[in-house]
A and B are shown apart, each in its own frame.
Chain A
Amino acid sequence: MTAKYVGQPVKRNEDPRLLTGQALFVDDVHLPDMLHAAFLRSDYAHARILSIDTTAAKEMPGVVAVYTAEDLGDFWQPSPMIVQPPPTLEDIVFNPRPQIPLAKDMVRHIGDPVAVVIAESRYIAEDAAEQIWVDYEPLEVVTDIEKALEPDSPLVYEDLGTNLASHVRQEKGNYAAAAKKADLIIKRRMVIDRGAAAAMENRGIVVDWDAKTQHMTMWNTTQAPIPIRNGLAATLGLSEHQVRVIAPFVGGGFGPKIMLLQPEEVLLPWAAMRLCRPIKWIEDRRENFLGTTQERGQIHAVEAAFSKDGKILGLKDIFLHDTGAYNPYGLTIPLNTQTHSMGVYDVPNFYTEFKVVFTNKMIVTPVRGAGRPQGIFLVERMMDLAAKELGIDPVEIRRRNLIPADAFPVHHSIIGQDFIEAIYDSGNFQPLVEKARLLIGYDKFVTEEQPKLRAAGKHIGIGLAPFVESTGVGPYEGARITVESSGKVNLVTGVGTQGQSHFTSFAQIAAEQLGVAVQDVEVTTGDTDQFHWGTGTFASRGAVVAGNAIFAAAKRVRAKILAKASEVLDAPEEELELKDGAIRIADIPEKSISLGELAMLANPLRGAVEPGTEPGLEATEYFGPKYGTTASGVAAMIVEVDPDTMLIDIKKFVIAHDCGTVINPMVVDGQIHGGVSMGIGHSFYEQLIYDENGQLLNASFMDYLVPRSTDMPPSIEIAHQETKSPLNPMGSKGVGEAGAIPIPAVLAQALENALNIDGLELLEMPLSPGRLFELAQAAKNRD
């Protein structure tokens, strides 16, 4: 019997290299004669560029070149839109404003790149950038998405005559009719502000143009090496095979690194071709705050209709979404918000409408969660408000509204980010709620512990919030698996890796099919010379889409192995087994051949290969799902608040999670841990503060608070449930963003419960000790 690896907590193949400093990151690439780049970024959120004087910078010793938009000539072109709005959406407004390589006549947010200096060292490049004099005419700034739509607002794009980037309306059922029958209507305004992805590794690029071979190599921290290769080739007028993009080990992606053909990515290859020398650019932390995209930034007017027994009859949500100064990523985030606003509930009627707004702030593109936490926040907050109004226990009101297990697939008739109607393919929410309730000890806490602790003067509360996560969207990914003559297996796929344990999870899938040790599967990701079909790592899709392509390729290689071995061992395929790197006849184990020998036989140096067969033990396969598969979970926490300082202490945190087939439970746990810490950060610590002039006031880790280990709960207890997806052969669902999604909702609920102040409603995120104090005082003063 072949060893079973899928589902096992196999130790990570990549860790020995990572832990001993043997893993290549972009900044580890050092090439002879390499130059260094520094960007001059705008200090103004909105200004006209009257002139740029680069004379002093160019005169500095060690400066090789200084480029402004004017120097780019015809090469200056807006980058293509990365994501177009779904063609399936009807009657929408969409005004595309893609990124541009360098600001030409106008800067539209602080950090907008204005010039680039190429020099012998980064020190010289940065010093020279400071010597560039830009004559700006500061213009009125718009940062507030509500004010931005007022008639007299300053305009980010004068030619548009409006700051409206997009307007979309969708409806399932008929909310207005449902509201008429309701016993209770709740209306609230909810605000979710911006946070940073704050990956440990910032963005970075090394690009090398070899004029003699007419070949370009780029090392890039991207989540999407293949689209960048194709885009670069098109932009630079090269063949796709003249460009190799390598995404080596990357220290965290979290969304912003999916961005394609950003100014740095376009300019540096162009400069490298002109200068015929390699160029390195590594974003520093402050630059990351100003030059890397961000997320969240929505204001919702939510309305929910309930019957008196707590059944939700309908939901209505009209929201504004801040896209910042450009909108290259289309509607992905607000569409995710729309498709996640019904959460795990049977919401028969849902009216949802959004306006996307241009502001003089950094561009908004997906950051782990990507619109989903906002949707979950609003529906979960509505459940809490209704529970309070109707005098129903918060867990009970949720139970009453869960989509039943026999209702799948659930069609929502709301178009999502993958251009088709949101459909929950599968799920089983009721047992997840029970698992989380038991793990957190809900009943005992509420009936026994909390009253005692409250009597002792403690402010301690509990929250429980379910969530869904649309994952594993198309279009497709591919993989090639080769058995080498050493008997080891080579596995390549196009997606890039930013810490998701692909080198292990992917190896497990192949190893199980091929009967080799997981350590004997050498995985290569994100190198376009190794595999050049695919899209990228986003939307929690690596394990689902690439995973199933690997599964398919491994099955085909297995079939080839069996066919060849059957011929060599002269035994029917059914009698063969693959185990420990060899193929043997199950009943006569001494009659066997090693995989390596078989691979050599399949690739002979002389003789004839049967017509119609392929050499070697190799297969390439692709997988594209019909639509994204829906993962789900229920998070619960117990939190204590210090009423004087409003500092919080998460005493206990549990999550019951369902991502279908678990490939490696340890890796899934790790993904959840990371997501939870990010969720906690974006709910209570991290917030990007812009002033009314569009200045980012906390553009450093001195002022922007990423949670520390001491801000984490003492442990994160995880229960796995496996409701297999019918959309892919492995039955898998994604988990990359899961942890981050329910935290704002569950924390708000738990904090309200802990503070127990009449009229205190936490309807905004992120909170902070200061903000929580203000809200608590305001609620007390209202009494």
Chain B
Amino acid sequence: MKLSGEFIFDGNRDEVWELLRDPDELAKALPGTQSLSKVSDNQYTGKMNVRLGPVSGMFSGKITISDEVPPESYTMQVDGRGAPGFVKGTGAIQLMEQPDNKTLMKYSGDVQIGGRLAGVGQRLVESVSKSMVKQGLETLNMALQAKHAPPPSATAPEARSPEPPPAYTPPSEMKFAMGVAKDLTTEFFSSTDRNVWLTVGVVLVSFALGYCFGQKRRGG
């Protein structure tokens, strides 16, 4: 499966670079991540709970960074395995400076999945992966915006900027699942009858919630 896209960060390239290489921030941006730690300059290992339609489970894996040209580009190799199967992928990431202190990210990658993830989750893989990437990047961007925002106590009410940056709290796993469900419905029903859209949206969100709670119950 090929994944590619662009994203604009509200920050300069050095900041974005730093953010992308910070395991704590990355872990926060991808809910389900139980741990992510840097084991060497170009290697991270971690554990992540992945949920794909009816398939869910813990993955452990490693990320290897290579061809690094700070702060412009790097390639990333992901190798994850868990009870529900395996994920293997490579991705190329490129950062380009933009006017107004913004940074354009271009990413492209090739992901191979196997096991139950492929056998049962196949039809959701592409949409869920895209959505996860999108939401992850949005969360990272929020973290960036939060850094830029002055601390609330120091700001006089009258001096408040017309559009305050949103307060940054990393999304919970459930919120993330809801986001994925919403993205899925948007993708499937962007141009069709609104009632259908709503019904399916509700169904999918309940589905996602069900899995969250189901997961918790089983965990407990």
Contact = CB atoms under 8 A, between A and B. Distances in A.
Interface stretch (A68-76, A586-594, A697-705): A697-705
Interface in B103-120: 112-116, 118-120
Interface stretch (A171-179, A234-242, A409-417, A688-696): A688-696
A43 B120 contact: no
B4 interface: no
A326 interface: no
B73 to A, nearest CB: 27
A429 interface: no
A697 B122 contact: yes
B123 A703 contact: yes
B114 A43 contact: yes
B207 interface: no
Contacts of A130: 57, 83
A745 interface: no
A702 B120 CA distance: 8
A289 interface: yes
Given A43-B86, A703-B123, A697 B118 contact: yes
Contacts of B119: 110, 286, 289-290, 695-700
A286 B114 contact: no
A44 interface: yes
B125 to A, nearest CB: 9
Given A286-B119, A290-B119, A696-B119, A43 B85 contact: yes
Nearest to B120: A700
Contacts of A45: 114
A693 B122 contact: no
Interface residues of B, number: 16
Contacts of B114: 43-45, 110, 693, 695
Contacts of B54: 700, 702
Nearest to A40: B83
Nearest to B60: A133
A211 to B, nearest CB: 35
Contacts of B83: 130
Contacts of B86: 43-44
A700 B115 CA distance: 12
Interface residues of A, number: 19
B120 A691 contact: no
A561 B206 CA distance: 71
Contacts of A695: 113-115, 118-119
A631 to B, nearest CB: 37
A528 B118 CA distance: 41
B53 to A, nearest CB: 8
A44 B83 CA distance: 13
Interface string B120-156: 1011000000000000000000000000000000000
Contacts of A43: 85-86, 114-116
A550 B149 CA distance: 90
Nearest to B57: A130
A186 B120 CA distance: 42
A289 B120 CA distance: 11
B115 A703 contact: no
Q: What is the interface of chain B mostly: helix, strand, loop, or mixed?
A: mixed
Interface string A277-315: 000000000100110000000000000000000000000
A140 B117 CA distance: 20
A703 B112 contact: no
Contact of A286 (B88, B113, B120, B122): B120
Interface string A659-691: 000000000000000000000000000000001
A180 B115 CA distance: 53
B158 to A, nearest CB: 57
Contacts of B123: 702-703
Given A43-B85, A703-B123, A696 B116 contact: no
Count chain A CB atoms within 10 A of each CB in B57, B85, B119 and give the residue with the most.
B119
Contacts of B118: 691, 695-697
A44 B115 CA distance: 7
A697 B1 CA distance: 12
A699 B113 CA distance: 14
Count chain B CB atoms within 10 A of each CB in A43, A138, A286 and give the residue with the most.
A43
A48 to B, nearest CB: 15
A702 B123 CA distance: 10
A289 B122 CA distance: 14
Contacts of B113: 695
Interface in A753-778: none
A699 B120 CA distance: 6
A699 B86 CA distance: 16
A697 B116 CA distance: 9
B25 to A, nearest CB: 30
A110 B115 contact: yes
A536 to B, nearest CB: 30
A218 B46 CA distance: 45
Interface in B12-59: 54, 57
A32 B73 CA distance: 64
A43 B114 CA distance: 6
A286 B54 CA distance: 12
A755 B178 CA distance: 44
Contacts of A110: 114-115, 119
Nearest to A133: B81
Interface in A106-164: 110, 130, 138
Contacts of B112: 693
A298 B115 CA distance: 25
A698 B122 contact: yes
Nearest to B118: A695
Nearest to B81: A43
A697 B115 CA distance: 9
B215 to A, nearest CB: 15
Interface in B77-99: 83, 85-86, 88
A100 to B, nearest CB: 21
A521 B197 CA distance: 60
Nearest to A126: B83
A138 B112 CA distance: 12
Interface in A49-104: none
Contacts of A289: 119
Count chain A CB atoms within 10 A of each CB in B83, B112, B118 and give the residue with the most.
B118
Contacts of A702: 54, 120, 123
A290 B85 CA distance: 13
Interface in B177-216: none
A525 B57 CA distance: 44
A134 B83 CA distance: 11
Contacts of B116: 43, 286, 699
17 contacts: A43-B85, A43-B86, A43-B114, A43-B115, A130-B57, A138-B88, A286-B119, A697-B118, A697-B119, A698-B119, A699-B116, A699-B119, A700-B119, A700-B120, A702-B54, A702-B120, A703-B123
Given A130-B83, A286-B120, A696-B118, 9 more contacts: A45-B114, A138-B88, A286-B116, A286-B119, A697-B118, A697-B119, A699-B119, A700-B119, A703-B123
- In the A-B complex, the 6 residue pairs with the closest CB atoms: A699-B119, A43-B115, A130-B83, A695-B118, A697-B122, A43-B114
